[in-house]
Homo-oligomer: A and B are copies of this chain.
Amino acid sequence: MARKVRKGDVAADEAVYGAIRRAMHLGRLAPGTKLQEPALARVLKVSRERVRKALHRLVHEGWLTAVPNRGTFVPSLSVAEMREIYDVRSMLEAAIVRRLSEGHSAGAARRLKAHIADEKAALKINDRGRAFELSGEFHVLLAELCGNDELAKLLRGLLTRSTMHFSLSAPQQLHNCAGPHDHGDIAEAILGGKAEKASKLMLAHLAGLIELQSTHPPSAKRSDLVEAFRGV
């Protein structure tokens, strides 16, 4: 990040924004942690204003919660909120797989097969981190294959928010999806044109994720900022 800072440097903004998001995604920032602007500016080696801008953006996007004159905090997503998000995802993703089952391009089928192969490979060599990442991207991929950018963007936001409190609690020993072969089954149903089956499988898959996450209540301990942003 040792670049010359010029006017309108969107890369620096993105770097700060990305660093915080990455730290959250890696589970380095426990819910309830206060993100102090001076401390963050020191750790990330940027000005306080840049930190402020990134924090405001993250608040607007729902990643963080701001309390006036108090500061910005990592939210403690309740189980109820999580269930609501999964509920919305169920509506959208059921419609997505149904639509894909009823018709998709040859390129879509190829990308889908390639992704499933990647996931299996990652599981085979026991690469937890990669498998976790890919399992999340699977759901985004399905949205992208519909050819609707708005849909993909929306689902990406829902996915990251729904997996947030999960990855915040215990990201090391988790797998992003209940059954490792769930994705393969869903893809198979889509490629076979079985709309109802694909829809049912997706709903069951998401229901399984809710159960899995509900059993992992997030811990209450606060995180240290210097530790959290080590190498992100």
Q: Report whether A96 and B91 are in contact in the complex, using a CB–CB cutoff of 8 Å.
A: yes
A56 proximity list for chain B (CB < 8 A)? 53, 56-57
- Bound: A84/B95 CA distance, A: 14
Q: Any chain B CB within 8 A of the CB of A149?
A: yes
- Bound: A57/B57 CA distance, A: 7
Q: Any chain B CB within 8 A of the CB of A102?
A: no
Q: Report whether A95 and B91 are in contact in the complex, using a CB–CB cutoff of 8 Å.
A: yes
Q: Report whether B151 and A154 are in contact in the complex, using a CB–CB cutoff of 8 Å.
A: no
A149 proximity list for chain B (CB < 8 A)? 81, 84
Given A60-B57, A91-B91: A85 touches B7 (CB 8 Å cut-off)? no
Residue of B nearest to A53 (CB): B56
Flag A50-62 by CB within 8 Å of B: 1 or 0 each. Answer: 0001001100110
- Which of B10, B87, B150, B151 has a CB less than 8 Å from the CB of A148? B87
Q: Any chain B CB within 8 A of the CB of A220?
A: no
- Bound: A97/B169 CA distance, A: 35
Residue of B nearest to A90 (CB): B95
- Bound: A60/B88 CA distance, A: 21
Q: Any chain B CB within 8 A of the CB of A94?
A: yes
8 contacts between A and B (CB under 8 A): A8-B69, A10-B68, A84-B149, A84-B151, A87-B151, A88-B92, A88-B154, A91-B151
- 3 A-B pairs with least C-beta separation: A91-B95, A8-B68, A84-B150
